[in-house]
Amino acid sequence: MAGPKLEVFKFGVYIFTPVMFMVYFGAPEFYDKHVRNSKFWPAQEVVNTRTGIDRQELLYEVERLKQERLARKAAREALSEGKDV
């Protein structure tokens, strides 16, 4: 066995390594240099944030989907009633 000095060294490495990774990668300088300048997201000018649907169109679509769902449910119930007989 190597002794307590080695164990203290290993403990220090185990604690020091993740802390240094968090300090390095969590620093604002790292974010500004590597993340903010990345071209992963499209430019704000070309992003379409408007969906083109107003409130009335949305309410109409919700009502239409509700009616479709109720019609399918009624058809299932009618079909299951026919099988039970």
pLDDT by residue (tens digit) across 4-60? 999 999 999 999 999 999 999 999 999 888 888 777 778 778 887 777 778 898 899
pLDDT in tens, 37-47: 777 778 778 88
Q: Residue 1: what pLDDT? A: 60
> Is the CB of residue 30 less than 8 Å from the CB of residue 36?
no
Of the pLDDT bands very low, low, confident and very high (cuts 50, 70, 90), residue 81 is confident
CA–CA separation, 62 and 50 (whole Å): 19
Q: Name the pTM for this structure.
A: 0.40
CA–CA separation, 2 and 27 (whole Å): 37
Helices of type H across 26-85: 28-30, 55-84
Quick check: helix, strand or coil at residue 45? helix
